[in-house]
């Protein structure tokens, strides 16, 4: 019997089709379902829908279930369709009639919404932490290898001198902008939908401000219809933020796959971090970065997948929304794995010295030669022509002493400033406040 079921037994094929992967995926939301219920019952007692004694018994039971979930001892029974039903059945079994009162003033619609918001908020905290670890690694490598020059390319043709300081630092600063996008997604996810019920509110005098405070949400989703409409939208915006991080990782992975190639030979990794060939004994394949590239390209498709699943849905709840979890949840796991693996690999990277001593890179210094003439008074177009003629007649001789000192260039990486930018973004997430609120809810 389902919590919504009357006196008609549901066709088993229909039940299996509609439940889908919910039991499996809902386990990831189980702890957050209990958190939402802890806030909800405290609010119900404040408006006299629960007695103080009922509240106390419910809180004890919910906290026990929470600890069971954290310990990995929580399952969703086969005859129960989702985590919300499982928690309610357990409560009714442990505390009796009070367990049947917990659903007053809410629907599974807003229950799912609050679970998802809390889950996404937690996932964002993990993504941000992993991104910061990668950022720190990139900045450290940029500072360590700031004097090691590297060919810069346009159109995949050698263009101008670059450096490993610039290259590592570029991806670090890219992650700063990615965190700006993630912060926007976080602000969307950090709004409380609880109390919107099925999407049209409740005739109970619910105190939605109270549950907002208890769960550490920044604000309410005020309009109850919009709270329900926000499902799908929050997922899409989070997916867009994840896609931004993934785009940075995919581009860096592509660079690494090029740079480790023997025709470049700019970097290397220990043999135990690469893979070999079944017939070619010399091979050291960058499989990790090839998989990061492909996984992250897949994540970049996620916003479109979610948009196509929700496009043209009218307002109100629709079962289509259930399937969003099947796309988004595994992508969150995959992105975190990519961030962690990328950081680990970069902790073991070796950077080659004196790359630009090779004569094939001599023309990288042609722009600097033009600039030297300009600094001595030659008009730029004339200087360009003079250096071009030396290249054409084979008499160009590079001066490999670089004088790049402006902000963000080879000689002035501005890594300290980039670090300030990252810290300024990260401070706005204010995870400490949320963690404190959650700890208060679950403490004995």
For residues 35 and 93, state if they share a domain. Answer: yes
- As a whole number of angstroms, the distance between CA 417 and CA 412 comes to 11
Q: What is the pLDDT of residues 238-297, one digit of tens each?
A: 999 999 999 999 999 999 999 999 999 999 999 999 887 667 777 788 899 999 999 999
For residues 84 and 122, state if they share a domain. Answer: no
Domain boundary among 100, 126, 155: 100
- As a whole number of angstroms, the distance between CA 336 and CA 126 comes to 7
364 inside domain: no
pLDDT at 5: 52
For residues 113 and 131, state if they share a domain. Answer: yes
pLDDT at 7: 58
For residues 113 and 182, state if they share a domain. Answer: yes
Domain boundary among 83, 100, 117: 100
End-to-end CA distance of the chain, in Å?
A: 33
Q: Which of 76, 89, 95 is nearest to 25 (CA)?
A: 76
pLDDT at 8: 63
For residues 82 and 125, state if they share a domain. Answer: no
For residues 118 and 81, state if they share a domain. Answer: no
- 201-225: b (≥16 Cβ within 10 Å) or e: bbeeebbbebbbebbbbeebbeebe
4 inside domain: no
For residues 84 and 139, state if they share a domain. Answer: no
For residues 95 and 118, state if they share a domain. Answer: no
For residues 94 and 134, state if they share a domain. Answer: no
pLDDT at 254: 98
76 inside domain: yes
For residues 29 and 143, state if they share a domain. Answer: no
299 inside domain: yes
SS3 label, residue 2: coil
pLDDT at 13: 78
170 inside domain: yes
For residues 187 and 303, state if they share a domain. Answer: yes
pLDDT at 381: 96
Q: Enumerate the H helices of 71-223 as residue ranges.
A: 83-95, 97-100, 108-144, 164-189, 208-214
Residue 73: which CATH number?
A: 1.10.275.10
Domain boundary among 100, 118, 144: 100
For residue 5, give Cα distances in angstroms to 15, 118, 255: 12, 28, 56
pLDDT at 1: 44
Number of domains in the chain: 2
243, two tokens: 């896609």
Residue 420, strand partner residues: none
pLDDT at 209: 98
pLDDT at 228: 93
> Residue 414: which residues within 8 A CB-CB, separation 6 or more?
169, 407, 408
pLDDT at 319: 84
The whole-chain average pLDDT of the chain stands at 93
pLDDT at 191: 97
Low-confidence ranges of the chain (pLDDT < 50): 1, 4
Q: Are 110 and 228 in contact (CB under 8 A)?
A: yes
Residue 248: which CATH number?
A: 1.20.200.10
263, two tokens: 């025709």
350 inside domain: yes
For residues 159 and 239, state if they share a domain. Answer: yes
pLDDT at 379: 96
Q: What is the pLDDT of residues 4-53, one digit of tens each?
A: 455 566 667 776 676 667 677 889 999 999 999 999 999 999 999 999 99
Q: What is the pLDDT of residues 55-70, one digit of tens each?
A: 999 999 999 999 999 9
216 inside domain: no
385 inside domain: no
Range(s) of the domain holding residue 331: 108-203+221-357+414-442
Q: Are 308 and 261 in contact (CB under 8 A)?
A: no
pTM of the complete model: 0.93
């Amino acid at each position: 019997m389902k919590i919504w079921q009357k006196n008609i037994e549901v066709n088993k094929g229909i039940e299996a089709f509609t439940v889908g992967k919910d039991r499996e995926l809902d386990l990831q939301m189980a702890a957050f379902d209990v958190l939402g219920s802890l806030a909800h019952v405290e609010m119900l007692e404040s408006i006299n829908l629960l007695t103080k004694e009922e509240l106390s018994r419910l809180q004890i039971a919910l906290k026990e279930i929470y600890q069971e979930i954290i310990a990995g001892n929580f399952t969703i029974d086969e005859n129960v369709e989702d985590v919300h039903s499982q928690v309610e059945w357990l409560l009714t079994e442990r505390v009796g009639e009070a367990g049947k009162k917990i659903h007053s003033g809410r629907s599974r619609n807003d229950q799912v919404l609050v679970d998802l918001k809390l889950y996404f908020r937690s996932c964002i905290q993990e993504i941000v932490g992993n991104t910061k670890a990668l950022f720190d690694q990139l900045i450290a490598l940029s500072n360590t290898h700031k004097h090691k020059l590297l060919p810069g390319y346009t159109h995949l043709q050698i263009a101008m001198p670059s450096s490993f300081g610039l290259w590592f630092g570029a991806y670090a600063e890219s992650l700063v902008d990615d965190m700006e996008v993630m912060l926007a997604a976080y602000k969307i996810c950090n709004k409380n939908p609880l109390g919107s019920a099925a999407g049209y509110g409740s005739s109970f005098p619910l105190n939605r401000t109270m549950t907002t405070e208890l769960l550490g949400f920044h604000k309410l989703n005020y309009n109850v219809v919009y709270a329900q409409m926000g499902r799908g939208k929050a997922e899409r915006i989070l997916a867009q933020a994840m896609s931004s991080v993934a785009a940075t990782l995919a581009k860096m992975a592509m660079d690494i796959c090029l740079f480790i190639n023997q025709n470049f030979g700019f970097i290397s990794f220990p043999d135990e971090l690469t893979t070999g060939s079944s017939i070619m004994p010399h091979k050291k394949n960058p499989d990790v970065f090839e998989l990061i590239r492909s996984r992250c390209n897949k994540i970049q498709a996620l916003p479109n997948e979610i948009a196509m699943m929700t496009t043209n849905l009218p307002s109100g709840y629709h079962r289509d929304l259930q399937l969003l979890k099947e796309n988004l949840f595994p992508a969150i796991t995959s992105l975190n794995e990519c961030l962690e693996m990328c950081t680990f690999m970069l902790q073991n990277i070796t950077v080659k010295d004196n790359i630009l001593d090779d004569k094939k890179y001599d023309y990288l210094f042609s722009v600097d030669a033009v600039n030297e003439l300009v600094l001595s008074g030659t008009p730029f177009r004339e200087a360009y022509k003079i250096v071009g003629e030396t290249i054409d007649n084979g008499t160009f001789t590079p001066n490999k002493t670089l004088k790049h000192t402006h902000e963000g260039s080879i000689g002035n990486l501005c890594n300290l400033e980039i670090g300030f930018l990252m810290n300024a973004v990260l401070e706005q997430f204010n995870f400490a406040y949320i963690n404190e609120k959650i700890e208060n809810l679950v403490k004995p």
